[in-house]
């Protein structure tokens, strides 16, 4: 007998699914349309990647509504992910349900070990989600779901191949290619993303990059009930990192990272439940060289995780997901020492539909951590549909524990004359968030969303400039040094407004328009007399825009961002972070054979805007490139 609960089907009978109201698994773990979750969720299909003027997954995220990428370098070199005015450690990144956040530092959250050709969709859940996912899910969750893991047994047999190659100024060379095959009960997918450049000129150095990601995955339906999936990936990045972390004149840094990622999933789909067991392993080696005269910082981090969850359909309109999670974090570093941390969690999420219009989704998690011990994390989401309007609200608690850099940075060195100093005595962050919003759907072509949110944060962890006399540990510090200490800030309150637009319309085979835009206004206020580093750098106004227009064989795509934030200046290195900037990328593509083979020209930063997202990290000016693409 065929199973009644399929991996990518909604649990409840819903309106016809569209691009504007797709099924999501991120908001409540059960597959359900976004309009029923009570949350602000944005979903983008993986196929959009090859059509938009971007070079890496972090660059794609940069132009999606509500996501602030604080870029240090292009084409996957480094970018901090910020949502709703939090810090870059307060966004959780998932790959097919497994957390990617590195235990060393949140700066590595943008290193997503997946080739774009393998992506089925990206789901962006904005706001508090710790009751479901635990630590780090404060500002939001970014969930990358791949074609192999999303495939269903009844999906048609498919062979898909795509490839994009480009050459450009400053020795730029790029390859983005992959294949997907489903035949019978077997699924296979593989991809490669490779970006290289000598780099544009910076302060006496060049912003070079040599970034490569190779990934492959496979699934097999062993029977009507059982599915086995596995993935392996290798990620290597080598780039100029001048002033990525400091604003010192002596900083001419380079950084090189190499990582491996492996995960496996066993899934049993029964008549009324679906049991899933996930295993994940991550290993990353980071070598950071401050300048030619310094000894490189070498840090190897490991992340081992097990996640078991069971989605149970209790009644026609009631579903329950319960699960347990075990995580082990390790680091071995000549800078931060050798450390190991164990944490665990148990959670339950209820999906209850009341009548045809109302849905309620409460969640509760118990989290344990060797450092911070026990935490109880509740949340509730509400949704009500009336005609073309969807009203939603959510409230819940979030937590985040310090990473190894925040606790132990520069602790293993004999002498530190300046820079950021870790603090082993840090307490975990805690906050309470609430939000309320509404969505308007028009003829399956247009969706308008508006959301007000507020977060009350206690014990927030951030870097604060601290005199030598006030440092809690002075053994390896210089009395004349300038230091930023990782501290718990007493209180930080953040409030904001989000507005999103999504539009999609196709007229026959001749014309198609797809667009997304987001506007975010954020205000944060803290109790510290000295402003903290990252709270003072998040955007106060953020606008993201994607637009794609196709007519016959011609396709024009643009991606734009406008950002307004607090101005900063570092006179010693001649760096100034202007309060506002606007960046526009454009791509023009022409299909020369059967809508499968095309040529394109792309211009990044069309108006040659001079800008920095983080003080001293100079972003590239205008960049011209062209290439060829193939899709089958």
Residue 3 is predicted with a pLDDT of 36
Please indicate, yes or no, if residue 288 is contained in any of the structural domains: yes
Residue 332 lies in a domain: yes
Residue 389: how many CB atoms within 10 A of its CB?
A: 13
Rounded to 5°, angle at Cα 257 from 251 and 260: 165
Q: Is residue 6 part of a domain?
A: no
- Cα-Cα-Cα-Cα dihedral sign, residues 394, 398, 403, 405: positive
Residue count (the chain) = 632
> Is the Cβ–Cβ distance between 557 and 601 less than 8 Å?
no
* Of 62, 27, 106, 40, nearest in space to 400 by CA: 106
Q: Whole-model pTM? A: 0.94
Q: What is the number of structural domains in the chain?
A: 1
pLDDT per position as a tens digit, 96-107 = 999 999 999 999
pLDDT for 14: 40
202 falls within a domain: yes
For 461, the 3-state DSSP assignment is strand
pLDDT at position 529: 63
d(CA 268, CA 162): 32
Exposure of 93 in the CB half-sphere (CA atoms within 13 A): 22
Joined together, the tokens standing for residue 501 give 């637009």
User: How confident is the model at residue 67, as a pLDDT?
Assistant: 96
pLDDT of residue 33: 87
H or E segment and range at residue 61: helix 57-62
Pairing of strands 623-631, 597-604: antiparallel
* Of the candidates 581, 584, 559, the residue with the CA atom closest to the CA atom of residue 568: 581
Q: Can you spell out the DSSP letters for 332-361?
A: EETTTEEEEEEEEEEEEEEEEEETTTEEEE
Q: Which residues of the chain have pLDDT under 70?
A: 1-18, 529-535
Instruction: Look at residue 506 in the predicted model and tell me its pLDDT.
Output: 85
Range of the domain at 462: 23-631
d(CA 140, CA 84): 8
In-domain check, residue 3: no
Q: Determine the longest span between alpha carbons in the chain, in angstroms.
A: 75
Tell me the β-bridge partners of 303: 282, 329
CATH number at residue 173: 2.40.170.20
Residue 18 included in any domain: no
**Which pLDDT value is given to residue 50?**
84
């Amino acid at each position: 007998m065929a199973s009644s609960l399929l991996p990518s089907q909604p649990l409840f009978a819903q309106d016809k699914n569209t691009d504007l109201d797709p099924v999501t698994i991120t908001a409540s773990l059960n597959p359900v349309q976004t309009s029923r979750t009570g949350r602000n969720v944005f979903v983008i299909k993986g196929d959009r990647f090859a059509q938009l003027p971007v070079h890496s997954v972090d660059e794609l995220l940069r132009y999606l509504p509500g996501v602030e990428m604080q870029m240090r370098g292009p084409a996957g070199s480094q970018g901090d992910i910020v949502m709703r005015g939090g810090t870059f450690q307060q966004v959780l990144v998932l790959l097919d349900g497994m957390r990617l956040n590195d235990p060393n530092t949140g700066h590595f959250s943008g290193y997503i070990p997946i080739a774009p050709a393998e992506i089925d969709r990206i789901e962006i859940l904005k706001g508090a989600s710790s009751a479901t996912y635990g630590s780090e899910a404060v500002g939001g969750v970014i969930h990358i779901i791949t074609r192999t893991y999303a495939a269903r047994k009844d999906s048609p047999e498919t062979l898909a191949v795509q490839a994009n190659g480009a050459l450009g100024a400053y020795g730029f060379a790029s390859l983005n290619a992959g294949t997907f095959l489903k035949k019978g009960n077997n699924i296979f997918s593989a991809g490669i993303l490779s970006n290289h450049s000598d780099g544009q000129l910076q302060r006496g150095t060049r912003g070079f990059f040599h970034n490569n990601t190779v990934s492959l995955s496979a699934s097999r339906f062993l029977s009507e009930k059982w599915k086995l999936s596995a993935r392996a990936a290798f990620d290597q990045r080598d780039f100029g990192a001048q002033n990525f972390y400091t604003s010192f004149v002596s900083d001419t840094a380079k950084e090189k990272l190499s990582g491996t990622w492996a995960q496996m999933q066993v899934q049993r789909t029964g008549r009324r439940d679906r049991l899933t067991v996930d295993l994940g392993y991550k290993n990353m080696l980071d070598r950071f060289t401050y300048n030619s005269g310094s000894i490189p910082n070498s840090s190897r981090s490991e992340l081992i995780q097990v996640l078991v969850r069971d989605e149970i359909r209790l009644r026609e309109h009631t579903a329950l997901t319960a699960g347990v999670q075990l995580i082990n974090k390790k680091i071995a570093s000549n800078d931060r020492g050798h450390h190991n941390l164990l944490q665990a969690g148990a959670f339950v999420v209820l999906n209850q539909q009341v009548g045809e219009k109302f849905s309620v989704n409460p969640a509760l998690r118990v989290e344990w951590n060797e450092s911070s011990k026990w935490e109880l994390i509740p949340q509730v989401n509400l949704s009500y549909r009336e005609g073309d309007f969807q009203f939603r609200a959510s409230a819940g608690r979030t937590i985040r524990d310090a990473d190894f850099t925040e606790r132990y940075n520069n602790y293993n060195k004999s002498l530190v004359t300046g820079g950021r100093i870790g603090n082993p005595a840090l307490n975990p962050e805690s906050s309470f968030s609430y939000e309320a919003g509404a969505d308007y759907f028009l003829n399956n072509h247009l969706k308008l969303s508006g959301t007000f949110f507020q977060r009350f944060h206690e014990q927030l962890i951030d870097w604060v400039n601290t005199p030598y006399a006030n440092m809690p540990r002075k053994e390896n510090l210089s009395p004349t040094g300038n230091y930023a200490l990782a501290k718990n800030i007493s209180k930080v309150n953040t409030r904001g407004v989000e507005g999103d637009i999504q539009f999609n319309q196709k007229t026959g085979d001749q014309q198609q328009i797809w667009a997304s835009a987001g506007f975010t206004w954020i205000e944060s206020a803290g109790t510290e007399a000295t402003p903290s580093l990252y709270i003072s750098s998040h955007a106060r106004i953020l606008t993201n825009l994607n637009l794609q227009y196709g007519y016959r064989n011609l396709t024009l795509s643009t991606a734009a961002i406008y950002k307004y934030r607090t101005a900063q200046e570092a006179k010693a290195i001649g760096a100034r972070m202007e309060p506002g900037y606007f960046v526009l990328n454009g791509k023009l593509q022409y299909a020369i054979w059967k809508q499968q083979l095309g040529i394109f020209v792309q211009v990044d930063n069309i108006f040659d805007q001079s800008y920095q997202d983080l003080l001293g990290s100079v972003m590239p000016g205008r960049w011209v490139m062209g290439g060829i693409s193939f899709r089958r």
